[in-house]
Chains A and B, each alone.
Chain A
Amino acid sequence: MLLELEEVHVSYGPIAALRGISLTVEEGEIVTLIGANGAGKSTTLNTVSGLLHPRSGRIRFRGAEIQRLSPQEVVARGITQVPEGRRVFAEMSVEENLLLGAYQRRDGAGVQRDLAAVYERFPVLYERRRQSAGTLSGGEQQMLAIGRALMARPTLLLMDEPSMGLSPILVQQVFEIIRQINAQGTTILLVEQNAHMALKVAHRGYVLETGRIALEGAAAELTASEQVRSAYLGGA
């Protein structure tokens, strides 16, 4: 078990956002969290990444509890988040964005190799490496946000709505990239509004409803489930 959440409760002031979330992610998997707006998907990711801390409950990564760690310490353990809405560093060049992704690493040669690998994966980033990131299109910014996260060489990649605001063709590409990254050995916990695409690429999924897990299972089962079909897949 790579990641395990056990009865995690998170609240924003008096408002409970997560009411006892328990889930697991095995090494090598793509696990997706789907659900409506406000169900607690992003809150779950932000709690794993250390941006938020649970009121109660435990988060274990490789067996060690991480729920009290700061975001930097979580990154140091091998978990990196691709934030919602991409959040590239607009005034910095594409290359600076990528190098910042490797901020905690001290193996210069390895960083250079990974930089080359990211450029190979996203040739458009290489073309635009001296351009400030704010001038990139939405799709390019998403590539950059993913590339930046990969530069930390994470064991577990947390992705928050990577398809948000992208054209259908780009959405296809992003999911293909997610599949490739996973195929190369990175475990992925994916939060998505686009349940249809997310369940296509994921191995397993959890359906969140108002801070609780309503349903869980293999992606294929969830896709077939009447409940999921009517609520999240357009009832088809």
Chain B
Amino acid sequence: MVRRYLRAGNLAVCALLVATFLAGQVAIASGWLNPYYQVQLFSMGINVILAVSLNLINGFTGQFSLGHAGFMAVGAYTAAVATTRWGLPFAAAVLLAAAASAVMGLLVGVPTLRLRGDYLAIATLGFGEILRSILYNVDYVGGATGLLGIPRLTTWPWLFALTVVTVLAVKNLVNSTRGLALKAVRDDEIAAEDAGVDTTRTKVLAFVLGAVFAGIGGALYAHYFFVIQPTTFSFLKSFEILVYVVLGGLGSITGSVVSATALTLLSAALQQLAALRMVLYGLVLVLLMIFRTGGLFGTWELSFEAIGQAWAWLFHRRPPAGDRAPLTAAASSPGSATLPDLPEVTRDGAPQDR
């Protein structure tokens, strides 16, 4: 077992993570990264958490949720109340935020996920708006003014660690046997039932886990930006997160990370034209739907295998493995002779992996 975790690939990933962390730490502590860029960096991390967790629900499990900002709000308000009103330490606040989002995820998910179809989209949309109205009207959490003066407890180590945890947790889940069940539910719920998958439980699991990470993202958000208001978590926020996911590719963690990062920077660059920002978002999406229906990355993931293939393509002039899951066409075996009418859809030349 231990040796499995000591593979070269995992060690390289760890080294890369440590290096990134140290680079960030030094850049912030030395003041080389000015406060403006620090804000962008923290926004990126939080948006990556939100995008990857929504991708688990929308991309991998195929359940169309429009309420991610709602779960973010649950986490943000819970954590903020925990630190400002109850005087709890930040770690406890983050845990409470995660738990509250999980409970809310169950409350929304259990009744709606039993059904097939688009009920979830409507229910989550309603959930987000109802939650916002409640927050408006509860004085304990500041009503329309929101909660002010939240201490800035989201430090670089917290942000980095929780972003990495989110990405790794989703990646490991998606690559596990249960991850197969998620994708099976996405592709065909009835066939998944026939294969013995408890589809309702599978959907609820993905939904609640997605909600938990959204809540954690919200907790980080509240403790970085000092102020949270009901309007922060409007439908537009959910839409923004959805854009990250769709742009990056439903079913690609790499895509979510890249597009959340890139769009955070883009939106910062467009800060002067705040109104135009959503127009540009819309335009980007329309163009994407025309030219790359599966999102920028489709379901492709960055991995050492993929890097190896790109390397082989660049330096050995071998054709790339295609833009979806790597296709490897073995040489025709005698078996193919038994099926006379096969279309030739395989592409050749990709190095055999694994």
Contact in complex: B335, A93 (CB < 8 Å):
no
Q: Bound complex: CA of A101 vs CA of B340, how far in Å?
A: 26
Any chain A CB within 8 A of the CB of B330?
yes
Residue numbers in B under 8 Å from A81 (CB-CB): 194
Chain A: CB-nearest residue to B324:
A132
Any chain A CB within 8 A of the CB of B332?
yes
Contact in complex: B187, A126 (CB < 8 Å):
no
Q: Bound complex: CA of A103 vs CA of B354, how far in Å?
A: 22
Q: Bound complex: CA of A140 vs CA of B183, how far in Å?
A: 20
Contact in complex: B195, A103 (CB < 8 Å):
yes
Contact in complex: B341, A87 (CB < 8 Å):
no
Contact in complex: B194, A100 (CB < 8 Å):
no
Chain A: CB-nearest residue to B321:
A130
Contact in complex: A123, B335 (CB < 8 Å):
yes
Residue numbers in A under 8 Å from B345 (CB-CB): 131, 135-136
Contact in complex: B181, A100 (CB < 8 Å):
yes
Residue numbers in B under 8 Å from A99 (CB-CB): 177, 180
8 A Cβ contacts from A70-87 to B: 70-72, 75-76, 80-83, 87
Q: Bound complex: CA of A136 vs CA of B342, how far in Å?
A: 8
Contact with B along A195-234 (1 / 0, CB 8 A): 0000000000000000000000000000000000000000
Any chain A CB within 8 A of the CB of B197?
yes
Q: How many residues of B contact A (CB 8 A)?
A: 39
Contact in complex: B196, A130 (CB < 8 Å):
no
Contact with B along A130-160 (1 / 0, CB 8 A): 1110011101100101001100100000000
Residue numbers in B under 8 Å from A71 (CB-CB): 193-194, 196
Contact in complex: B191, A104 (CB < 8 Å):
no
Chain B: CB-nearest residue to A82:
B194
The winner among A51, A72, A82, A140 for most chain B CB atoms within 10 A is: A72
8 A Cβ contacts from B178-214 to A: 180-181, 183-184, 186-188, 190-198
Any chain B CB within 8 A of the CB of A170?
yes
Chain A: CB-nearest residue to B183:
A92
Contact in complex: A173, B196 (CB < 8 Å):
no
Residue numbers in A under 8 Å from B326 (CB-CB): 130
Contact in complex: A126, B333 (CB < 8 Å):
yes
Q: Bound complex: CA of A131 vs CA of B338, how far in Å?
A: 19
Contact in complex: A127, B188 (CB < 8 Å):
no
Q: Bound complex: CA of A223 vs CA of B193, how far in Å?
A: 35
A-B CB contacts (within 8 Å), total count? 127
Q: Which of A96, A149, A170 contacts B183 (CB 8 A)?
A: A96
The winner among B180, B324, B332 for most chain A CB atoms within 10 A is: B180
Contact in complex: A49, B194 (CB < 8 Å):
yes
Any chain B CB within 8 A of the CB of A89?
yes
Any chain A CB within 8 A of the CB of B35?
no
Residue numbers in A under 8 Å from B191 (CB-CB): 83, 87-89, 145
Q: Which of A91, A130, A139 contacts B328 (CB 8 A)?
A: A130
Q: Which of A80, A92, A126, A169 contacts B194 (CB 8 A)?
A: A80
Residue numbers in B under 8 Å from A169 (CB-CB): 340-341
Q: Which of B195, B327, B346 contacts A100 (CB 8 A)?
A: B195
Q: Given the known inter-chain contacts A91-B299, A99-B177, A137-B343, please indicate yes or no for A148 contacting B195, CB distance below 8 A.
A: yes
Q: Given the known inter-chain contacts A90-B187, A96-B180, please indicate yes or no for A103 contacting B197, CB distance below 8 A.
A: yes
Contact in complex: B180, A103 (CB < 8 Å):
yes
Contact in complex: A140, B195 (CB < 8 Å):
no
Residue numbers in B under 8 Å from A104 (CB-CB): 196
Q: Given the known inter-chain contacts A72-B196, A92-B180, please indicate yes or no for A130 contacting B333, CB distance below 8 A.
A: no
Contact in complex: B335, A130 (CB < 8 Å):
no
Any chain A CB within 8 A of the CB of B325?
yes
Q: Which of B177, B190, B338 contacts A87 (CB 8 A)?
A: B190
Any chain A CB within 8 A of the CB of B34?
no
Q: Bound complex: CA of A123 vs CA of B343, how far in Å?
A: 16
- Which B residues fall within an 8 A CB radius of A? 177, 180-181, 183-184, 186-188, 190-198, 251, 299, 324-330, 332-336, 338-343, 345-346
Please provide the 4 A-B residue pairs with the shortest distance between their CB atoms, ordered closest to farther. Answer: A123-B335, A75-B196, A89-B187, A87-B191
Q: Knowing that A92-B180, A131-B329 are A-B contacts, what are 15 other residue pairs whose CB atoms are under 8 Å apart, sorted by A's residue number?
A: A71-B194, A72-B196, A72-B197, A75-B195, A88-B187, A90-B187, A92-B183, A92-B187, A96-B183, A103-B180, A124-B335, A127-B336, A128-B329, A136-B345, A139-B341
Q: List 28 A-B contacts (CB under 8 A).
A: A51-B194, A71-B194, A72-B196, A76-B196, A80-B195, A80-B196, A82-B194, A88-B188, A90-B187, A96-B183, A99-B180, A101-B195, A103-B184, A103-B197, A104-B196, A124-B336, A124-B339, A126-B330, A127-B329, A127-B330, A127-B335, A128-B329, A131-B325, A131-B345, A132-B325, A149-B194, A169-B340, A173-B338
